[in-house]
Amino acid sequence: MTNGLEQQVRTVVAAIMRLTPDDVGADASAQTVRGWDSLNHLKLVLALEEEFGVTFTEEQIVQMLSVSKITSVVGQLLSAR
Amino acid sequence: MRESGTAARVFELLDQRSFAELSGDANPLHVDRVAARRSLAGEVVVHGIHALLWALDEWIAEREGLVEIERLDVEFLRPMPVGDCVRVSDAGSGANVAALEIQSTDATLATIACTFASASGSMSSGVVDEVPPVSSSRPLAADQVRACRGTLPLMRPATSARRMFPHLADKLSARQFAALLASTRMVGMECPGLHSLFSELHLRRAQTPPEGLTYEVRRFDQRFGLTTIDVCGGDLSGTVLAFLRPAPQSQARSADLRQLVAPSEFSGQRALVVGGSRGLGEVLAKLLAAGGADVLLTYCSGEEDARAVVADIVDAGGRASCARFDVTEPDAAPGDFVPTHLYYCATPFISAGTAGTFRQDAFERFREFYVTGFSRTLARFDNPAMQGVFYPSTVFVDAPAPGMSEYAAAKSEGEAVCASLEQQRPGLRVVRPRLLRLATDQTLSVGPSVRHDPVPVLLAAARTLAA
C-alpha cells in the first residue's frame, strides 16, 4: 500500500517538476529536486489534493517538502477517511 | 522563428510601459522599480500576457491568413524579470498548433499551447480602437476578491498593437486580441488587482456576449490566495488562475516598540543603520531610537519608505534622519555622520535559485552587498569612536536550503570579514547572528511558510551589541 502510494506521489511530483518519474526517487526532496521552489510547491500541493481527494492544512503544507513526508501525510489523511 | 525554432529578446522597462498603455494593466509590479522591489518577485517583471503575445507573434510571423484562437492553455511558471534575456522555443508545434516554451538561461518560465482556426475576417466589431483609460490597481483584500465580478470593455488600440505585435495584430481576430489584453487588465488592475500574480489561462473559442469581457470569481483558496476566475468575452470563454499575493511586509510601529525598550537603553549610540527603509533595518532603527539612540538610517532607492520610517520614529518621540547611500557605489557618502555603531542591513533581492545549481552571477550580486559593500561601508565609517558592528548572517550557512547556496556562500564570506575585523580591532564588538527566516519583504511567499517575528530577535542582538 505504502509503496503504491509512494509511487503515486512520485508520479505527481515528477509531473509538476517537469521530470520523469524515474528522476524522482523515494528519497527525493525540495533539497534535491531541481525546480522544487515555492511556486512549484504550491502547484504540487494542489495537484496532490486533486489526485488523492484530500485537503491539506497550512501546517502540513509547510512540512511536505519530501516524497517521504508527503507519502506519510497523504497516508494519514486517507486512513482517517 | 520558424527556421531556427527559437527567438530571443530582452524586455526593457520601456517595453513594459508601452504594454501597460496598450493593455491598461499598469500594475506597479510591471512598471515601477521602487514599488516592485517590495513585491514577492523583488523586481519589475514582465506581464505574462505581454510575453504570451510576443511568443505568439513570433510563431505566427511566417504563417499566412487570418486566424482565430480555437483553444489556448498557458501556464506562467516563474516571474520573468525585466532586463533578462528570454527565448521562446518551439516545443512540438504543428500546422495550426503553437506549442511553445519561454525560457531563461536556467528555467522554463511559461508554457503555451495554442490551437488556431482559420478566420473569415478581422472580427473587430465591438472592439474599441482606443487606449484603455489610466487607472490605479485596486488593493483588494481576500474577502473582496472572493466576491469580485465585472465587465471590461474590449479595447485594442490598433496602432500600438501593430507596433508591438505586428504579425498578431494583422492576423489574429481583433476581438480575441482585445480579450487577451482585457484579461491582464482584469488581473492586474481589477481582480485580484494590486497584489496579483497571473498564473494560468485556459480559453476556448465560444460565442460570447458583445458587451466586453465579463469575469466572476468562482473559487478562492484562502491558503494560497489562489483565485479561479471565469471569463467570457471576445469569442473566448474559460478560466484565469491568479494569486492574491501578500502585500509588502509592514513592521511594528515605533509607538508599540517603545513598550519593549527602556527609554535610555541605547542612549549615547549614534547608530548608522544601512538599509533602514524597510525590513530588518527598519525594525532596528525603530528599536534603537525607542531606546534613546540617535539614528541615521540609509536607503538606496526607497526614499519614500525611509521618510515614513523616520516620521514614525519622530512621531513616537525618537531621533532619526535618513540619507541615500548605495553600498555598491565606491564613492557614496551620506553626509558627515560619525557613528558609534554600525548596523549593516543592506541587501539585494534574495532570489532563490534552482536546487542543485550554483548561479555565479547571483553569487556575485550577493557578494557585492554582503562582502564588498560591507567592507566599503566599514572603511568609510570606521572611526575611533566606533564601538560595535551588527552583521546579520543566516542559518543557511549552517544548513543549506534549496536554491540558497549562493546567498549562504556570500553571507559566509561576510562573516569572514567580521572575523577579520574582530582581530584587527580588539576593542570593537561585532555581533553576527545566524538568523532564521524573519518576516520581511524578502521572505514573502504565496503559500504558507514559517517566518519569525523580527522584533525579539533583533532586540536581543541590539542588546548584545550594547552590553
Give the model confidence (pLDDT) of B146-166 as tens digits.
999 999 999 999 999 999 999
Chain A interface includes B350 (CB < 8 A): no
Residue whose C-alpha cell reads 478566420 in the numeric block: B119
Spell out a b/e string for B21-54, using b for 16 or more CB atoms within 10 Å of the CB, else e. bbbbbbbbbbbbeebbbbbbbbbbbbbbbbbbbb
Strands B6-10 and B270-274, bridge-based pairing:
unpaired
Say whether both B262 and B238 belong to one domain: no
Q: How far apart are CA B38 and CA B442, in angstroms?
A: 8
Query: What mean pLDDT, rounded, does chain B reach?
Result: 94
3-class SS of residue A45: helix
Claim to verify: residue B150 and residue B190 sit in the same structural domain: yes
Asked whether residue B64 falls in the same domain as residue B175, the answer is yes
Query: Mean pLDDT, to the nearest integer, of B175-203?
Result: 97
Q: Is residue B327 part of a domain?
A: yes
**How many domains would you assign to chain B?**
2
The torsion of the CA quartet A22, A25, A30, A33, rounded to 10 degrees, works out to -30
Q: Tell me, what's the pLDDT at B1? A: 66
DSSP-derived 3-state class of residue B7:
strand
First to last CA, chain B: 65
| Mean pLDDT across B406-424 | 95
- In this prediction, residues B95-124 reach a mean pLDDT of 91
Structural domain count, chain A:
1
Which of B217, B244, B271 represents a domain boundary (last residue)?
Answer: B244
Last residue of a domain, which of B193, B209, B244?
A: B244
Q: Could you tell me if residue B1 is inside a domain?
A: no
> CA geometry: angle at B404 spanning B401 and B409, to 5°?
110
Q: Are strands B393-394 and B108-118 parallel, antiparallel or unpaired?
A: unpaired
Q: Does residue B350 form part of some domain? A: yes
Final residue in a domain of this structure, among B190, B220, B244: B244
Q: Which residue has the higher pLDDT, A5 or B4?
A: A5
B264 lies in which domain range?
A: 254-466
Choice between B257 and A62, residue whose per-residue pLDDT is larger? B257
pLDDT tens digits along B22-58: 999 999 999 999 999 999 899 999 999 999 999 999 9
B359 or A74, greater pLDDT: A74
Work out the number of other CB atoms within 10 angstroms of the CB of residue B360.
8
pTM for the whole thing?
0.89
Based on the domain organization, do B230 and B172 belong to the same domain?
Answer: yes
Read off the pLDDT band of B367 (50, 70, 90).
very high
| Alpha helices by DSSP H, B4-47 | 13-23, 28-31, 33-36
- Spatial separation of the C-alpha atoms in residues B48 and B289, rounded to whole Å: 43
Q: Is the pLDDT score of B404 beyond 60?
A: yes
Say which CATH number the domain at A21 has: 1.10.1200.10
Nearest Cα to Cα of residue B306 among B258, B346, B259: B346
Contacts of A61 in chain B (CB under 8 A): 223, 447-448
User: What digits encode the pLDDT tens for the residues B51-90?
Assistant: 999 999 999 998 899 999 999 999 999 899 999 999 999 9
User: Is B155 within the bounds of a domain?
Assistant: yes
Percentage of chain B surpassing pLDDT 70? 98
C-alpha cell at B291: 531606546
The rounded distance, in Å, linking the Cα atoms of B101 and B114 is: 12
Burial B318-330 (b: 16+ CB within 10 A, else e): bbbbbbbbebeee
The three three-digit cell numbers of residue B184, written as one number: 491582464
Are B302 and B359 in the same domain? yes
Over range A34-55, report the average pLDDT. Answer: 90
B456 pLDDT band (50/70/90 cuts)? very high
Taking an 8 Å cut-off on Cβ atoms, the answer to whether A30 and B78 are in contact is no
d(CA A6, CA A48): 12
| Nearest CA-CA distance, residue A4 and chain B, Å | 27
pLDDT of residue A34: 78
Q: Is B94 on the interface with A (CB under 8 A)?
A: no
- CB pair distance less than 8 Å for B450 and A18: no
Within 103-132 of B, beta carbons closer than 8 Å to A belong to 107-108
Chain B residues touching residue A39 (CB < 8 angstroms): 77-78, 446
The CATH number assigned to the domain holding B416 equals 3.40.50.720
Distances (CA, A) of A26 to A2, A5, B90: 11, 11, 33
Q: Which helix (H) or strand (E) holds B152?
A: strand B149-152
pLDDT tens-digit map of B297-352? 999 999 999 999 999 999 999 999 999 999 998 777 777 899 999 999 999 999 87
For testing contact with chain A, the best of B358, B449, B451 (most A CBs within 10 A):
B449
Average of per-residue pLDDT across B443-447: 86
Q: Are residues B224 and B294 in the same domain?
A: no
Confidence tier at B2 by pLDDT (50, 70, 90): low
Q: Name residue, grid cell 528555467.
A: B107
DSSP B317-372: T-EEEEEE--TTSTT---TT---SEEEE----------TT---HHHHHHHHIIIII
B108 and B217 in one domain?
yes
- Any domain includes B186: yes
Identify whether residues B91 and B204 lie together within a single domain.
yes
pLDDT of residue B231: 98
CB-nearest to B355 from A34, A59, A61 is A34
Domain match, B396 and B356 both: yes
| DSSP 8-state assignment for residue B249 | P
Residues B342 and B202 in one domain: no
- Answer whether B388's CB lies under 8 Å from B428's CB: yes
The parent domain of residue A11 ranges over 2-79
Look up the CATH number of the domain holding residue B52. Answer: 3.10.129.10
Q: How much is the ipTM here?
A: 0.81
Q: Are residues B401 and B349 in the same domain?
A: yes
Answer yes or no: is pLDDT of B3 > 60: no
Nearest to B417 by CA among B344, B333, B338: B344
Q: State the number of CA atoms in the 13 A half-sphere of B50 facing the CB.
A: 32
Share above pLDDT 90 across residues of chain A, in percent, rounded to a whole number: 64
Instruction: Report the candidate in B115, B345, B362 with the shortest Cα–Cα distance to residue B251.
Output: B345
Q: Say if B351 falls within a structural domain.
A: yes
pLDDT value, residue B121: 75
Based on the fold, state whether residues B199 and B83 are members of the same structural domain. yes
Nearest CA-CA distance, residue B409 and chain A, Å: 16
